[in-house]
Amino acid sequence: MSDDKDQQVVDQAAPEAPHSNGAEEHGTTNINADVVASITRASSIIMVLVGGLALFSDGYNAQIIGYMNPVFSELYPDSFSKTIKTRLSNAYLIGEIFGMLFFGWAIDKLGRRTGIFFATLFLVLGIILATAAHGVDDLGMFWMMIVGRGVAGFGAGG
């Protein structure tokens, strides 16, 4: 449904040029075609920049736990076991897999804009949960961080 709306916007932005008795053959150009070309060029550049930022964000969120492992090992030597370390690392990746499956289906049903909104919402919510992780004891804090990283991965999968 949203693809039809997107096509209507494109059709309105790029009206067909009227026939001009050979004016295009003599080197004159249509102003509308120039405007559409500059808009297309700008949107392509913006799309590449936003895509690059998304890839950077995904890689950063997936790898940040690797940089935090030595810190956690030093601060929580008794609680930070290999099991917790593995779960912290894998929670984001497993969340991404479920996010890819869910948002692939949901975007087909709800549209791209709605899907991107909810994927971003889950990503930000998960990062906030992982950042604000705390618990009665160290193990509770790590479990809250695992859940937060899983929610962030779910959003990143969208």
15 pLDDT band, cuts 50/70/90, is low
26 pLDDT band, cuts 50/70/90, is low
Q: What is the spatial distance between Cα 157 and Cα 104, in angstroms, rounded to a whole number? A: 9
Look at residue 1 and tell me whether its pLDDT is greater than 60: no
119 close to 61: Cβ distance less than 8 angstroms? no
Structure token pair of residue 56: 């950077």
Q: What is the spatial distance between Cα 151 and Cα 122, in angstroms, rounded to a whole number? A: 6
Give the helix ranges, DSSP H, for 76-111.
82-110
Tens digits of residue pLDDT in 106-141:
999 999 999 999 999 999 999 999 999 998 999 999
Tens digits of residue pLDDT in 139-154:
999 999 999 999 999 9
Look at residue 27 and tell me whether its pLDDT is greater than 60: no
What DSSP letter does each residue of 14-82 carry, written as one string?
SPPPPP-TTTTTTT---HHHHHHHHHHHHHHHHHHHHHHHHHHHHHHHHHHHHHHHHHHHHH-TTT--H
Confidence at residue 32, expressed as pLDDT on a 0 to 100 scale? 81
11 pLDDT band, cuts 50/70/90, is low
Tens digits of residue pLDDT in 32-72:
877 777 788 888 899 899 889 888 988 898 889 989 999 99
Confidence at residue 23, expressed as pLDDT on a 0 to 100 scale? 46
Domain boundaries of the chain, sorted by first residue: 7-157
**Rounded-to-10 torsion of CA 132, 137, 142, 143:** -100
